[in-house]
Amino acid sequence: MAYSDENDVYEATGLNSSLVQNLSGKTAEQVTTLINGYIAKADQRIKRLLKVPITVRKELHLFNYNKTIELGPHEDEFEFFGGWNPENCVEKVYALFTTTGDNDYRVKLPYPKDCDELTEDVTDMTGTNATLTKDTTTKKCGTASVKAVFSAAGNFYFPQNTNMKKNIEPWKYISFWFRTDDKTVTFTLTLYDKDGNSTSETFTLNFNDTWEIVTFDIEEVLSDIDWGTTELQKIEISADGACTCYFDNFNFNDGYFWTCPEGLICWADPDSTPQGRVRLTYSYDPYKVTVPDDLLDASAKLAGVKLLDYVIGLRVAMHGFKQMTYDLDAIPDKIALETTRTRLAKEVASALAGIGYGTHEGIGVA
């Protein structure tokens, strides 16, 4: 989420879309794209100055029969150093450690490392009796899910060229979040090798319109192919009837995976009770959901500085400050533009100082 928007930049600079269009010859859509690009650059600079995202190291959590745990200091013995709320703000999980006594043991990272890359878009997916779309509204992980509307029994698979070429032997489990509008439909996960050999397992959901974790032990139910000597080439999801379903957070893992930015750590072993202590090292952006006024102000004004630099450059290229006689629109004076630019740059520094440079809420344990 951007810290500011196009209208905030106009309010900060005193400019407007029509004026920038007249000076640049761009369309309104192109001007919007230009300014959103400036906002993105401004936000990245602000994050560097504020040391965002914030890293929390080896935060303690307990699996106690629940399949998911929420990141945050509520279970950590160092919570008294300060509270922080990473819910819906988690950027990345770097490491997960299981804890036995006084010893921590690092767990192998899932594939993909964000547990989501394979289910963020449909550009490399195809199917039969299934209309596939990238859905940015009904999602569980990342910025989108795969929405599949089955008109009848059918399937979809990825990648389209069946050339995944992935050695999955290092991981024990396959996990993902799934949702359907008809819990009576039976779904099947099928894995293919390069010769078209396959291994599959069915699954159903317990509720309609509810995200549920689906997880499989590869060695127990998907071992018709020797994955120690054969690479995975294609993944297929099929349904035995018409329905609308959503597929997200697909990954191979060694017992745990994560759902970001929500900030969930998920239990992957379908044959054991979720129990035990884990420690997580992760990063989060405390302003990902709610942006304080000072931060919005700084983002808009820093993007405004970049916009004013662009407009001043256009004015210099015009070799003078003449009135646009064809429509009588006034061209802003170069000195006025530079004065506004200088003022905004100073106000950015003041706004960020009000938040505090490099101040971290999350501490965790070393």
170-191: pLDDT as tens digits: 999 999 999 999 999 999 999 9
Mean pLDDT of 9-26: 93
| E strand intervals along the chain | 54-64, 68-70, 90-100, 103-106, 126-135, 145-158, 173-180, 187-192, 198-203, 212-217, 234-239, 243-253, 256-259, 264-267, 275-284
Query: Degrees (nearest 5) of the Cα angle 221, 259, 249?
Result: 50
Contacts of range 219-228, beta carbons closer than 8 Å, 24 or more positions apart: 219/172, 220/271, 222/174, 222/189, 222/191, 223/199, 224/197, 224/198, 224/199, 225/191, 225/193, 225/197, 225/198, 225/199, 227/167, 227/168, 227/169, 228/169
Contact 103, 282 (CB under 8 A): no
In angstroms, what is the C-alpha Rg of the chain? 26
How confident is the model at residue 333, as a pLDDT? 64
**pTM given for the model:** 0.83
How confident is the model at residue 350, as a pLDDT? 72
pLDDT in tens, 106-147: 999 999 999 999 999 999 999 999 999 999 999 999 999 999
How confident is the model at residue 364, as a pLDDT? 46
Higher pLDDT, residue 346 or 318: 346
**CA dist., res. 142 & res. 91, Å (int):** 9
Mean pLDDT of 42-62: 92
Alpha-carbon dihedral sign for residues 227, 230, 235, 237: negative
For residue 262, the cross-strand partners are: none
pLDDT in tens, 96-109: 999 888 889 999 99
For residue 200, the cross-strand partners are: 190
Q: What percent of the chain has pLDDT over 90?
A: 76
How confident is the model at residue 198, as a pLDDT? 97
Mean pLDDT of 182-203: 97
Q: Domains along the chain?
A: 6-50+290-355 (no CATH), 117-254 (2.60.120.430)
pLDDT in tens, 226-282: 999 999 999 999 999 999 999 999 999 999 999 999 999 999 999 999 999 999 999
